[in-house]
């Protein structure tokens, strides 16, 4: 259904004079698309569209049985319109860019429309660059994050601590484990299939249940996992926050001793 939608969009947009090209990215280009995949379209236009949500919506509504849509500020990308279509029910992300903006990309998409070969030329004159985590950025924050989780557990805010563990998996453990397994660091995307079984098992040990003992145990497992990944991935250029680590782990022991 994703390919059918993309081909229909191609037919609709080919005659639009403002459209320079249409490309498709994501699981389409990695051959991992299945019935649960969304569709990632990149619409390249002569005149800028992304500054006006109404213009973005106008284009989106032309492509199918549009149900709803919103812009992607929550993922740091307001140029993306996240859409839901019906008949069939399908999630479609449409990124609105100009030709200059198209050259800055995290992957090389498949071209569906390329008027005058402008997209192909832009690809040849630029390089894809997927954002990788900054190890120093993580190390500078990790022990403060652990302390924060301990404060929540100590106060009895178990749901807050439970949710925070998900944040750590998304921002720290998922990306680092993906890098260890020679994958792109896409959070926890496809960890069930893209990590070796041992690494997936270690990641699952950071998933608590809703009680104090489980939260503390999962947080302790998170510390162990981070230390292991730090040894495997970080080089000597990363300055370890040893003092913060020691103080926080002393506090960890104190919280564990409390009833």
User: Residue 172 sits in a domain of what CATH number?
Assistant: 1.20.120.330
Please report, to the nearest 10 degrees, the dihedral formed by the alpha carbons of residues 103, 106, 110, 115 taken in order. Answer: -10
Q: Which residues are 24's β-sheet partners?
A: 41, 110
- Would you call 236 exposed, middle or buried from its count of C-beta atoms within 10 A (0-12, 13-18, 19+)? exposed
The number of distinct structural domains making up the chain is: 2
Reading the block at residue 118, the tokens are: 């402008």
Choose the final residue of a domain: 85, 100, 124: 124
Task: Indicate if 253 and 147 belong to the same structural domain.
Answer: yes
We report the CATH number of the domain holding residue 59 as 3.30.460.10
Task: Indicate if 213 and 238 belong to the same structural domain.
Answer: yes
Provide the percentage of residues in the chain whose pLDDT is more than 70. Answer: 100
Give residue 103's pLDDT: 85
Task: Indicate if 80 and 148 belong to the same structural domain.
Answer: no
Choose the final residue of a domain: 103, 124, 145: 124
Give residue 104's pLDDT: 85
The answer to the question of residue 129 being in a domain is no
The answer to the question of residue 130 being in a domain is no
Task: Indicate if 32 and 55 belong to the same structural domain.
Answer: yes
Give residue 29's pLDDT: 84
CA–CA distance, 145 with 214 (Å, rounded to integer): 18
More confident residue, 126 or 89: 89
pLDDT of 68 over the 90 cut: yes
Domain region containing 46: 2-124
pLDDT of 144 over the 90 cut: yes
Give residue 146's pLDDT: 98
pLDDT of 75 over the 80 cut: no
For the residues 165-182, what does the mean pLDDT come to? 97
Give residue 246's pLDDT: 98
The answer to the question of residue 150 being in a domain is yes
Give residue 27's pLDDT: 85
Give residue 128's pLDDT: 84
């Amino acid at each position: 259904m994703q390919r059918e939608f993309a081909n229909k969009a191609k037919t609709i947009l080919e005659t639009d004079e403002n459209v320079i090209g249409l490309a498709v990215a994501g699981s389409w280009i990695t051959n991992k698309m299945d019935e649960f995949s969304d569709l990632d379209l990149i619409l390249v236009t002569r005149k800028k569209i992304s500054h006006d949500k109404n213009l973005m919506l106008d284009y989106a509504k032309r492509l199918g049985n549009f149900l709803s849509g919103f812009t992607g500020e929550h993922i740091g990308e307001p140029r993306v319109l996240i859409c839901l279509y019906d008949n069939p029910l399908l999630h479609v992300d449409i990124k609105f860019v100009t030709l200059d903006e198209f050259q800055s990309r995290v992957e090389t998409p498949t071209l569906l429309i390329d008027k005058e070969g402008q997209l192909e030329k832009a690809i040849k004159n630029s390089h894809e660059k997927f954002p990788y985590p900054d190890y120093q950025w993580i190390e500078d924050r990790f022990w403060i994050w652990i302390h924060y989780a301990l404060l929540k557990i100590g106060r009895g805010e178990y749901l807050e601590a439970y949710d925070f563990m998900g944040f750590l998996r998304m921002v720290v453990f998922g990306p680092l484990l993906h890098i260890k397994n020679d994958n792109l660091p896409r959070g926890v995307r496809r960890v069930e299939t893209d990590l070796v079984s041992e690494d997936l098992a270690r990641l699952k040990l950071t998933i608590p249940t809703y009680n104090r003992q489980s939260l503390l145990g999962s947080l302790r497992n998170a510390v162990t996992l981070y230390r292991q990944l730090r040894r495997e991935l970080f080089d000597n250029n990363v300055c370890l926050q040893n003092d913060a680590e020691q103080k926080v782990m002393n506090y960890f022991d104190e919280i564990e001793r409390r009833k």
